[in-house]
Amino acid sequence: MNTDLLNLFDCDETKLRSILSETLSGADDGELFVEHAQAESLTFDNGRLKGGSFNTDQGFGLRAVAGEAVGYAHAGELSAAALSRASHAVRAVTAGYAGSYAAAPQRTNKKYYGDENPIGSPSFEEKVKLLTDIDAYLRNKDDKVRQVTATVSASWQVVDILRADGHRVQDIRPMTRINISVVVGEGDRQESGSFGTGGRIGFGDFVTEGNWQTGADEALRQALVNLTAIDAPAGTMDVVLGSGWPGVMLHEAVGHGLEGDFNRKKTSAFAGLLGEMVAAPGVTVVDDGTIDNRRGSLTIDDEGTPSGYNVLIENGKLVGYMQDRQNARLMGMKPTGNGRRQGYAHVPMPRMTNTYMLGGDKTPEEIIASVKKGIYAVSFGGGQVDITSGKFVFGCTEAYMIEDGRIGPAIKGAMLIGNGPDAMKRVSMVGNDMKLDTGIGNCGKGGQWVPVGVGQPHLRMDQVTVGGTKA
């Protein structure tokens, strides 16, 4: 398709710029955001192809910002008439307002991923065969396997952003993801395990036999571990978090609290703490949208600002927030490339990209050996966080007892309970094995979902509240 989205309108770019200029007269900021998106998903369950979808969507969003007020209108019709109607609605917020445009974001020629659309390659038939092979492989691998669910999904998004200050920027964003879930059983007991991988890449080498078998084996391994797990104890104890995906707890319990809008409105547990110690010494947290091919990476954000490497907590001290353009201006700070939106029907807001903790100087073995009695949380499932208080609850999908510095039996039903800022001060050892997740993160905020990445090294956290199921 034509990736110059402004050419899809029934008028030329000069006319679009004229409408936008009139719309944003007197505004502080704003833009015309045009999007074309395609998405495909195939699900194989219980030995057959159970679901398949393909959809395509395109449209525009028109935004005007006046102080704290935002006017926003969107349409799925790329026409001068639809844009004029949107302009009339949006201009209501600028009536009687005299603002000034913020400086255009610095241009960038750096791209962090390719342009190729992953939906067409491999073919539909090849994807179905991959799912069939995964199902057959796992069912033949172990007679305890009772159910296999495998999904492949891909998307391709083209965005074109036009600002009244003359800045125009475009981005093409591919995405793929593969998920494998296994249910195993013995008698009346059943447990599950899962594995997923993806990023802003094609399906590539994963469709080769060796790579997908590695993912299938990991899902089965986790399920079989959980089949032997005993009930988790409850109480206050030392906890070791594994590297990689357990960074989702950092994302939820700390990351959201460092987004600019929550801090400007003083609804974050971290509000007003800039320059103060909010974590233990040795804890450094960054949000980095500039990692090649990662799920959360962006060449530019959805306001046209280049993505960046942003240090949030440095050696325990709060040094920065993640900002979109509006909140940065209102807080007297610079935008950080974190203005994100789900699509053209949504307004941008400060959102994370790839958020992770940097590594320290301890080996994972040293960290585990230092714990007399506690738990080792290798992987997490769902969790809940209250941004204002920082309180969180996270469920472990794979965890073990630690007894006298050694990994003991697997446990099930363990919940980590705490408060984000307090939990960061309980970090007493930071591992040297920082790892990003395998590319499966999604983040929800304000009714919008965007892809993200998480990561961390092994960590020891002292005296954390653990909810368990042991009588």
pLDDT in tens, the chain (471 residues): 788 999 999 999 999 999 999 999 999 999 999 999 999 999 999 889 999 999 999 999 999 999 999 999 999 999 999 999 999 999 999 888 887 776 666 667 789 999 999 998 888 999 999 999 999 999 999 999 999 999 999 999 999 999 878 889 999 999 999 999 999 999 999 999 999 999 999 988 777 777 899 999 999 999 999 999 999 999 999 999 999 999 998 998 899 999 999 999 999 999 999 999 999 999 999 999 999 999 999 999 999 999 999 999 999 999 999 999 999 999 999 999 999 999 999 999 999 999 999 999 999 999 999 999 999 999 998 777 888 888 889 999 999 999 999 999 999 999 999 998 899 999 999 999 999 999 999 999 999 999 999 999 999 999 999 998 876
Q: What is the DSSP letter of 254?
A: I
pLDDT of residue 163: 87
> Quick one: pLDDT at residue 206?
73
Q: What letter would DSSP give residue 300?
A: B
Distance CA 257, CA 387 (A): 6
pLDDT at 383: 75
DSSP string, 316-355: TEE---B--HHHHHHHT----S-EE-SSTTS--EE--SEE
Q: Give residue-wise pLDDT tens across range 173-219.
A: 999 999 999 999 999 999 999 999 999 999 887 777 778 999 999 99
Q: What pLDDT, on a 0 to 100 scale, did the predictor assign at position 411? A: 97
Query: In angstroms, rounded to a whole number, what is the distance separating the alpha carbons of residues 92 and 85?
Result: 12
DSSP 243: S
Q: Which residue has the tokens 């590695």?
A: 214
Q: Hey, what amino acid is at 12?
A: D
pLDDT of residue 274: 96
Name, in order, each residue with C-beta under 8 angstroms of 186's C-beta and a sequence gap of 6 or more. 144, 227
Cα–Cα distances (Å) from 87 to 84, 96, 304, 320, in that order, read 5, 16, 20, 35
pLDDT of residue 258: 97
Q: In the prediction, which pLDDT does 1 show? A: 75
Look up the pTM and report it: 0.95
With beta carbons less than 8 A apart as the criterion, state whether 118 and 156 touch: yes
Instruction: State residue 211's pLDDT score.
Output: 84
Q: 279 CB contacts (<8 Å, ≥6 apart)?
A: 285, 313, 316, 421, 424, 425, 427
